[in-house]
């Protein structure tokens, strides 16, 4: 095969099942040879599109698709100031598409280009959320019957907004047989009197740390009483509590033997992980909010985390992710790439390529693709027996039906699709 050059870079917006996805398609000067990559930044898709079309596409046109390392390195510094989710998602779409092309040129899956498989399939975890401990447990049982062995559990905090459970409402609730609307901190009237022109950004509800921690601990007790320790459970704090509360919480949940506790602190508070390490052995996953390939380095170097939880398109794609994974292997830290519903199937295929190759793979978050999504992205990774399986096709093994994708345009959203703001009972903002 000759030396194909980048001829055109396209950005495709599509929303087949209610989640905005951003896909990059690189076309070469060789007929029929192209690649696809994920550049999804659901909350800010249009700046990613501009970064690609206005800057990266002209910069890359005519370059050899073989030179992935050079393209990544030169693109990374081409704006002088670098990193951040906009620039790195844009770069990730390019990077993943180039790996897809290279695999097609070699007639090999990307995991073979990286050195071959360490495993046949990648064990995954799925999400079980509910308004009560019983509802979470019933969903867990259904997943276990389907062959899933790792399950993330989140339960509503009665009377409060709760991360990971979209059905949770503020106000009085009798979930878990408790009425805590008059609990440790009563819900104030500011939410009812809310006026977006006068007071706050669009409210996503009221969150309070103490009721949340109590309900989570209650859930873990219920699960272990009901199922014992034969199933792996995970939980996401989503950085919503103060650092010292996080230290206390990690100690309290140690006895429930979680597979991992995720995002206990914000990135700016990650020095508190040293305190956690000195006081308990709860496994820690961290990284989905990192937007630089180097952010995770001190966490791996100092062995402050057990699972690298990076969103690979947020750090620039497969090229930096495989190096971080190798560093983790040297230091005994496993991978657990971020893989929610707003990672496109192309992004999940990229995650899977790394998972099948990396010796230090730990677990993969799974998304249950909607039927429209499966049609738009032929070749989606499949879930079976609690694992994600590759189809073994060259490159990333996945494609996009552009005509069908165009039938699912972005839906107009309030505030352009920015996340609703979650607040404390006194009206102050909760991260994230």
Quick one: CA torsion of 221, 223, 228, 234, rounded to 10 degrees? -100
Name the helix (H) or strand (E) containing 6. strand 6-14
The rounded distance, in Å, linking the Cα atoms of 314 and 86 is: 8
Identify whether 311 is a catalytic site residue: no
Catalytic residue among 127, 149, 235, 238: 238
The rounded distance, in Å, linking the Cα atoms of 197 and 265 is: 32
Catalytic residue among 34, 76, 160, 163: 163
Residue 424: exposure state from Cβ atoms within 10 A (0-12, 13-18, ≥19): middle
Instruction: Indicate if the alpha-carbon torsion angle 364, 368, 371, 373 is positive or negative.
Output: negative
Q: 4: alpha, beta or left, given left = phi > 0 and alpha = psi -120 to 50?
A: beta
Under DSSP, is residue 20 helix (H, G, I), strand (E, B) or coil? coil
The rounded distance, in Å, linking the Cα atoms of 234 and 134 is: 17
The rounded distance, in Å, linking the Cα atoms of 215 and 132 is: 9
R_g of the chain, CA atoms, integer Å: 22
Q: Residue 373: how many CB atoms within 10 A of its CB?
A: 22
Nearest to 215 by CA among 165, 259, 269, 265: 165
Helices (H) and strands (E) in the chain, counts: 14, 15
Q: 334: alpha, beta or left, given left = phi > 0 and alpha = psi -120 to 50?
A: beta
CA neighbours within 13 Å on the CB side: how many for 370? Answer: 14
Chain centre distance of CA 223: 25
Identify whether 238 is a catalytic site residue: yes
The token duo for 102 is 């290279």
Q: Which active-site residues does the annotation give?
A: 163, 238
């Amino acid at each position: 095969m000759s030396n194909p050059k980048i001829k055109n870079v396209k950005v495709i917006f599509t929303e087949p099942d209610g989640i905005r996805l951003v896909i990059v398609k690189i076309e070469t000067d060789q007929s029929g040879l192209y690649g696809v990559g994920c550049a999804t930044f659901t909350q800010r898709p249009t700046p990613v599109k501009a970064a690609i079309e206005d800057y990266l596409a002209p910069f890359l046109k005519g370059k050899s698709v073989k030179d992935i390392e050079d393209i990544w390195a030169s693109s990374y510094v081409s704006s002088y100031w670098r990193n951040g989710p906009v620039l790195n998602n844009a770069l990730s779409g390019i990077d993943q598409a180039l790996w897809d092309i290279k695999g097609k040129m070699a007639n090999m899956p990307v995991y073979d280009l990286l050195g071959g498989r360490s495993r046949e399939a990648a064990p995954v975890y799925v999400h079980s959320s509910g308004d009560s401990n019983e509802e979470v447990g019933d969903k867990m049982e259904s997943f276990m019957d389907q062959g899933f062995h790792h399950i993330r559990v989140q339960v509503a905090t009665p009377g409060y907004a709760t991360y990971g459970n979209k059905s949770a409402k503020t106000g009085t609730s009798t979930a878990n047989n408790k009425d805590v609307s008059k609990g440790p901190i009563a819900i104030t009237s500011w939410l009812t009197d809310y006026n977006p022109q006068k007071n706050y950004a669009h409210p996503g509800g009221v969150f309070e740390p103490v009721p949340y921690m109590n309900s989570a601990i209650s859930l873990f007790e219920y699960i272990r009483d009901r199922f014992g320790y034969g199933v792996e459970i995970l939980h996401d704090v989503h950085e919503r509590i103060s650092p010292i509360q996080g230290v206390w919480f990690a100690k309290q949940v140690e006895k429930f033997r979680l597979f991992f506790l995720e995002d206990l602190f914000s990135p700016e508070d990650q020095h508190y992980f040293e305190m956690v390490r000195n006081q308990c052995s709860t496994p820690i996953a961290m990284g989905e909010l990192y937007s630089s390939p180097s952010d995770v380095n001190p966490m791996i170097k100092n062995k402050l985390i057990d699972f690298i939880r990076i969103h690979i398109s947020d750090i620039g794609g497969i090229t930096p992710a495989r190096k971080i994974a190798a560093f983790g292997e040297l230091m005994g830290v496993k991978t657990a790439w971020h893989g929610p519903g707003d990672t496109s199937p192309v992004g999940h295929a990229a995650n899977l390529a790394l998972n099948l190759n990396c010796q230090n793979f730990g677990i993969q978050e799974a998304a249950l693709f909607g039927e429209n999504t499966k049609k738009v992205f032929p070749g989606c990774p499949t879930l079976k027996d609690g694992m994600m399986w590759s189809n073994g096709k060259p490159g990333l093994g996945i494609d996009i039906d552009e005509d069908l994708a165009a039938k699912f345009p972005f839906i107009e959203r309030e505030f352009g699709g920015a996340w609703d703001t979650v607040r404390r009972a006194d009206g102050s903002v909760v991260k994230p």
